[in-house]
Chain A
C-alpha cells in the first residue's frame, strides 16, 4: 500500500471514527532494524517475526520496515517518519535506538512503541527482550560433556550485560558437568564482521578449543568449525546449512509469537505498556534441533531434559551458589540472581581466566 493511503489512515484516526470502522482498516506495523535483514542473524530474525505477522493476520495488517538504520539521530528521523506515516505500532529493534524511540514516543502519544532490549518505558512505550542466557546453559552443558581437549572457545562481541550473561551461564553449566573445563574468550569488538569472526574461530581452534560458542552474528565461525572438524553453536538463527556436521544446536531468537500477541492487542484495543523478558518458556529463545550425529545419546538426553526443566521453571541458570572471579560468594545456596542483578551483570564467574575489557 502506498504512503498516501497511510495518510488516509492517519486522517481517519484524527477524525476519531468509531473503533468499529477502524477495525476494517489494516493495522499498520512499522519496524526498524539496525543491520541488513540479510545478516542472517539479529535483524534477520526480527524480520522473520515481521513476516510471521503478515502470514498470521493476512490483510488485517500492513507492515513496513527500514533496515540498516544507524543508531543515533538518523534513527529518530526514521522512527518519526514511520509514526507520521500513520503506523499504529512501531518496533525499534536495537538497544541503541532507545533515546530516539523515547523522543518520538513523546511526540506521538497515539502511536504505540515497542523497544527491544531497552529499559525506558512510557504509557505508549513498551520494552521487550529475551533471556538468551537460558539457551547458553544448555549449550554449556553439551560443550562441557563433549569436549575432549577440555578447552572451550567463546567469540564475544562487546562487554555488555547481555553478552556477559551468556558467557557466565555457559561456563557455570560447563564447569558443573566438567570441572576441568577451560574457557578461552576472544572479544571481536564487532557484532558483525564475517572475516574477523572466522579468524577468531581459527585462533581459538589453534589454541586447542574443540567447541566454539559465539555471540557475534555471522555463520563464519561455524563454517571454520566445519572445515576444521570441530563443533560449535549457531547464533540467533539456525545455521545448520553452513555447518551440517559442526553445529550441535543453535540459540534461535524467535520473536514471532511476541509480535503476533502485541499486534493482536492493538487490534483488540487492549495494548498496554509493559516490560517483557521472556525466555525458553515463552518461546522467545529456542534451540535448533540437536545434532544427533555428533552428540552422544546420553548427552543428548541430558540436554533435552535440562531444556525441559528450564522451560518448566525448575532450573535457573543463575542459581546459587555462584562465586565471582575473586572467589566471593555473589549468591548463596538456594537463591537465584535477581533480574536486576542479571540485567546489570559486569563480572565473570569463578573459573573464567580472562579479564573483562573495560
Chain B
C-alpha cells in the first residue's frame, strides 16, 4: 500500500509570538518551528499500517520554505521512506484551496492508495487540506479517524462524532483520511533511524501558484470583554487569595 502523509511545519505552542510589522502574521525569525502535532499522529498511523501490512511505502509531503525539510527529515528518521518537498519561496500561502491545488499538482502522478493528514494545523487551523485533496483526486474521504482497520482488502475507520459518539465507516479505495489526535502514541526516532534518514530521498518540486481564493488580512491580539483579576504574586498570597475567592465570591462553603 502506497501511503502519503501530509505534514506541515508550524510554529510551536511554546514559541514566542510577535506580530510582524505589516500585521499579516508573526515574526518568523523569532519563532521556533515543529512538526504540526496532529500530523505527527497521522505519520504514526501510516507507519503502523505499513508495518501491519508488511509492505508498502510511506511518503511525506510537505509544502513550505527550506525550513520544512527539517520536519520531513524527522519523519524519515521515524521510519517514512521518502519525502516530497514542495518548495515555496517568499510568501507562504495560507489559502486552503491554493495549498491543496499545489499539493495535488505535486502528487497526482504518484497514485497513492491512501492519504493521511492531521485533522488541522496548529497555525491557521483551516482543517480542510486532506479533504480538499481527496475531492480533487476523486478519492473517498473521511475525517477525525480515531481508530483504523486497514489492510490490503479494506479501508475501515472509526470516526469520532460529537459528544462521545463514534461510527465505523468502510471506504472505497483510494481514500484520503484525516486523523484525530490521540489515536496512537507517536514514536521518537531511534539513533539508527536518524542516521538512516540522511540517505533517504527528498524530492524538491516547485509549488504551484493557483489563484488565491481567501486571504488572511491581519492578525491581532484578541480583546477580552471579560474583567479578569490577575493573581501573579508569591505563593502564600496566591493561595490566600484563592481561598478568599472560593469562600466569598464563589461561596463553595
Q: Do A and B come from one complex?
A: no
